[in-house]
Structure 1
Amino acid sequence: MTQTFVVEAEPRVAQGTGASRRLRRTGKIPAIIYGGNDGPQNITISHNELLKQLKIEAFYAHILTIELEGKQVQAVLKDLQRHPVRDEVYHADFQRVVADQLLRKSVPLHFVGEDVTPGVKLGGGMIEHFINEVEIECFPGDLPEFIEVDVSKLALGEVIHLADLALPKGVTLLELKHDNNIGVVSCHLTKVGKVDEEADEAEGEAAEGEGDDK
């Protein structure tokens, strides 16, 4: 991890819907930080500064530094409450991380090699992503910003499952811990390809029928 993210926060005393509404009018939003070896603490953070950081993918799967009352707390972003239409955040949840405590976090998948996939270049197929992120378990020091999925050798009709992924050291997929080896990405015929294939089969059957009549 080469990037560093700092979230400046202040303690929050007033609570409730009215207090949160007044807080948002000042350009801040309510948030909470919990977990680790301390109890939950209500905080406030800058709405605009958080929006800037949310535009960076690595922010979602990264160890963040929360600056609070002159101290630095290591944490990860666990949840966001957003406005259904406007680009606004209503609330944020952060979880403290401790070096010797396992952490569960969702991280994005990065698909590589799609431009050379045999099933697409030679088979006329298309790539379909079934999922775009996975939930992992690891120690904070092993947290990856993303997991790479190499589809450069994917043939037509093939599927890459969770168990096929090359995981970074110390990282476990939670779905596999529950024996749920779901599909991640596949290469299959496009609808046009299927129609053409079905048409060819129909023409072949028709030609055979004509030959029998003769």
Structure 2
Amino acid sequence: MLIKITRSTLSKSLNLQLRCFSQAAAAILPDDPSAPLTYLDGLPRPDPRYDETILATPRASSGTRVSVKERNAGRVPSIVFEQEDGQHGGNKRLISVQTNQIRKLVGHIGRSFFVSRLFDLEVRSEFGSGDLIEKVRVLPRKVHLHSGTDAPLNVTFLRAPPEALLKIDVPLVFRGDDVSPGLRKGGYLNTIKRTVKFLCPADIVPPYIDVDLSELDVEQKILAGDLKVHPALKLLRSKDEPVCKIAGGRASDQKKSK
């Protein structure tokens, strides 16, 4: 029996291998391999309320004295790295961003959500200047905050062009605790992980992953492989790693709830 393989089919197959997508992604890839992926209905997508362009200026040098001077002037010393193969940094650009803007973003959406969300970054010769040096989409990779004041001390960004694959610790949001059978019986939620690492195409980075507790009973658990995500995301941990578990309540509590 001969199987006819068309050029179109072969192209799609190679595209999947090159972009490191799961086999399940083949069903939702667009006909045009160059077309961007899109978010799927029923899965979380970024809240447009927090779409914001991060403003920056170039920084000529680094070091402790320079960093102190920048912070005293209301700026956060930062770095932008390239995404050479979608995973490793290189070709860095030294920049400074505005302290108030970073503090506001981290405060509004939370630290773990800030470092799992893409932003536009505009680098200008000076803040408020019309001289645009670069505009690029970036992923905040790390943000260091002052232990006492939560003021941002420095930020590391990665360039995130459409073809990039990004290693991201995606935050988990637990829902359904009000109807969970195990919790209603007196059990308690043992949160084992608050983020799970995925390799994400830059066009469909999830802002978070919903974890449904509504059917979880006492001593039952949810594994990393149970999480519902876009099929083009690749889990970078064992699918058998537990995310959460309903630990048992006292026997007397369980009897009363029946």
Identity %: 25
- Secondary structure of 2:178's counterpart equals helix
Q: In the TM superposition, what whole-angstrom CA distance separates every residue of 1:177-205 from its partner, at most 9, and x where no partner exists? A: xxx62111111223xx16x58xxxxxxxx
Q: In the TM superposition, what whole-angstrom CA distance separates every residue of 1:111-132 from its partner, at most 9, and x where no partner exists? A: 11110001122x3211121111
- Secondary structure of 2:222's counterpart equals strand
Q: Report if the CA contact (8 A) 1:75-1:97 is conserved.
A: yes
Q: Does 1:96 align with 2:178?
A: no
Determine the structure 2 residue equivalent to 1:48: 100
1:155 deviates by 0.9
Determine the structure 2 residue equivalent to 1:136: 198
CA separation in 2, counterparts of 1:48 and 1:101?
A: 29
Q: Does 1:165 align with 2:190?
A: no
Q: Report if the CA contact (8 A) 1:142-1:169 is conserved.
A: no
- Secondary structure of 1:115's counterpart equals coil
Q: Report if the CA contact (8 A) 1:5-1:59 is conserved.
A: no
Larger radius of gyration: 1
Determine the structure 2 residue equivalent to 1:26: 73
Q: In the TM superposition, what whole-angstrom CA distance separates every residue of 1:110-168 from its partner, at most 9, and x where no partner exists? A: 111110001122x3211121111111112101210001111100011111111111112
- Secondary structure of 1:116's counterpart equals coil
CA separation in 1, counterparts of 2:83 and 2:242?
A: 33
Counting strand residues as a fraction of each chain, which structure ranks higher?
1
CA separation in 2, counterparts of 1:59 and 1:127?
A: 25
Aligned length: 190
1:2 deviates by 4.2
Of residues 193, 206, 215, the one that matches 1:153 is: 215
Q: Report if the CA contact (8 A) 2:115-2:143 is conserved.
A: no
1:11 deviates by 0.2
Q: In the TM superposition, what whole-angstrom CA distance separates every residue of 1:67-90 from its partner, at most 9, and x where no partner exists? A: 013131100010112222222121
Of residues 86, 105, 108, the one that matches 2:149 is: 86
Determine the structure 1 residue equivalent to 2:140: 77
1:36 deviates by 2.7
Q: Report if the CA contact (8 A) 1:83-1:89 is conserved.
A: yes
Q: Report if the CA contact (8 A) 2:115-2:142 is conserved.
A: no
TM-score normalised by length of structure 2: 0.69
Determine the structure 2 residue equivalent to 1:108: 171
CA separation in 2, counterparts of 1:63 and 1:128?
A: 30
- Residue ranges of structure 1 left out of the alignment (5+ in a row): 198-214
Determine the structure 2 residue equivalent to 1:13: 60
RMSD over aligned CA atoms reads 1.7
TM-score normalised by length of structure 1: 0.83
Counting helix residues as a fraction of each chain, which structure ranks higher?
1
CA separation in 1, counterparts of 2:120 and 2:56?
A: 10
CA separation in 2, counterparts of 1:135 and 1:82?
A: 22
Q: In the TM superposition, what whole-angstrom CA distance separates every residue of 1:21-56 from its partner, at most 9, and x where no partner exists? A: 111111111000001357210000111111001121
CA separation in 2, counterparts of 1:97 and 1:46?
A: 21
